Amino acid sequence: MEEQALPASSCSLVLLEETKKNPLILSNGGGGYPPAAANGNLPLSTAVAGSGSGGVVGGACAGPDKKGVVVSGAGPGYQERETWTRQMDFIMSCVGFAVGLGNVWRFPYLCYKNGGGVFLIPYLLIVFVGGIPIFFLEIALGQFMKAGSINVWNIAPLFKGLGYASMVIVFFCNTYYIMVLAWGFYYLIKSFTSNLPWSSCDNPWNTPSCIEIFHHQDCKNSSFANVTVAGNMTCAELADARSPIIEFWENKVLNISSGLDEPGHMNWELMLCLMVVWVLVYFCVWKGVKSTGKIVYFTATFPYVVLIILLVRGVTLPGAYDGIMYYIKPDWSKLGEAQVWIDAGTQIFFSYAIGLGALTALGSYNRFNNDCYKDAFVLALINSGTSFFAGFVVFSILGFMAAEQGVDISQVAESGPGLAFIAYPKAVSLMPVAPLWAALFFFMLLLLGLDSQFVGVEGFVTGILDLFPGKYYHRYKREIAVAICCLLCFIIDLSMVTQGGMYVFQLFDYYSASGMTLLWQAFWECIVVAWVYGMQHTHTFVTVQSVSLFKAQWKLLIVINCLGHYHSYTKCHKNVIV
């Protein structure tokens, strides 16, 4: 546990004078705020009573060179909150959480679908208008209040439901997101063979309709409808043929039923993979940020090594140039479509992990005067840069795949699980030394999702433990809480390893943490900070002069942005009957 000492500055003298004038401003071994406020157990208005310009001396994000009061202890009845061993632990944890599967399998597809390079215009605009300010807000609140996503809203107790809402959202995300890791782990195990099981039609799960090479180019002329082009199949029959990778995904991995009303039996192999992944998550989180901060150095950085290796391999393949140009070629007509702006906004909220409460939890372990303003920009640059870079990796491979099959790239471009478990495995099966590239890809997929998963669990557990102050102290309180969380999620996940599990997964994916859910959460966060708590009080946790622009965005621009997205979303989906 690291002690946080009050910096030697005029802040100490000012604080002493203020303490004499106002007994509500306490000194607890060098701290400048009441211990309960430091732990998120007092309304912030009480902690800064009579502040104005003198009641509170500094801000949580003042930075090491700014004059900021530092919280040093938790006071009687409260455990002192642990902090990151070094600030880079926090940076890497945020990178691991925010940079995930969506950067690799969702952004590149959205970019190509919404006008290529043109998509970067709405994307970057919303990054600076909405993404970075809210990202900064959540970290700064956690850092100042030294609390997780529930107690941090003691700044406005009437809206504490925002904290509970974020806990519900992140719990649902933790529950279904790990299924992607279980599938990736399953594919990783199956990659350690001389012949990839999804590359041929000679397996027990394949059907008579399975075909390895389609020869679409031979069927472009309608007069050849009854000509045999592949084995004993005619062009007419070729339209109903299925590739071995799709049959491996649907018949072997998922063993999917016809609908949600037919859950069927469990896939025991997938259940074992799920159990292994949950055990990994548990041992990454159970000891708190001291251990988590070390693990992310590997889980957050190694995927970049794999991405670079895959890019070098991808650009040397035939068809890679066409794929990359398909990815970045601008289509200016797309800028006028509302769906493009909706996709840009929802992607930012997804990839920046806004509204989930985990950023608040991570920020709460920062030193009180850490410069989180700079951190917010660095993390945003890493996040968005990774998304753009991953597009070159993905589309160089898809360009090769389209060239090999003789089809247009639009016919092989996928997003989400379709890219990870159908398009990319098909592409690597066409490469020399296919098992090596398959193993690298799925190992990267596992690491990308693993750090996002265990940091999400950390955020949820932090919020729960903050509800139980020091008087409920138990030596193994954290270990027990993490175990209960993982076990409960695992039990719910058992419904997703059945034959109808994919339908349950899609329900969670679409409704539990959809773009509108996160948008609505962020909207109310800004309303509470800017209009309920009041912009005149935000200097208590933000003192950097250039942050005045952020204050204006919290008060007006983000609110207008969220409402605009909400209006566009309802307009685009007005024909959908819920």
Residue 413 annotated as part of some ligand binding site:
no
Residue 199 annotated as part of some ligand binding site:
no
Residue 331 annotated as part of some ligand binding site:
no
Alpha carbons 256 and 308: distance in angstroms, whole number: 35
Residue 28 annotated as part of some ligand binding site:
no
The count of other CB atoms within 10 Å of the CB of residue 506 is 14
Residues 6+ apart with CB under 8 A from 211: 201, 230, 231, 233, 238, 241, 242, 243
Alpha carbons 152 and 519: distance in angstroms, whole number: 19
Residue 101 annotated as part of some ligand binding site:
no
Residue 461 annotated as part of some ligand binding site:
no
Alpha carbons 15 and 107: distance in angstroms, whole number: 48
Residue 191 annotated as part of some ligand binding site:
no
Residues 6+ apart with CB under 8 A from 405: 214, 216, 412
DSSP letter for each residue of 242-286: B-HHHHIIIIIIS---SSTT----B-HHHHHHHHHHHHHHHHHHT
Residue 124 annotated as part of some ligand binding site:
no
Helix axes 132-145, 515-527, angle to 10 degrees: 60
Burial class (CB in 10 A: 0-12, 13-18, 19+), 288: middle
Residues 186 and 253 sit within 8 Å (Cβ to Cβ): yes
Alpha carbons 73 and 71: distance in angstroms, whole number: 6
Residue 103 annotated as part of some ligand binding site:
yes
DSSP letter for each residue of 107-120: HHHHHHHTTGGGGH
Burial class (CB in 10 A: 0-12, 13-18, 19+), 388: middle
Residues 1 and 80 sit within 8 Å (Cβ to Cβ): yes
Annotated binding site: 96, 98-99, 103, 351, 383, 448, 451-452
Binding site residue list for Na(+):
96, 98-99, 103, 351, 383, 448, 451-452
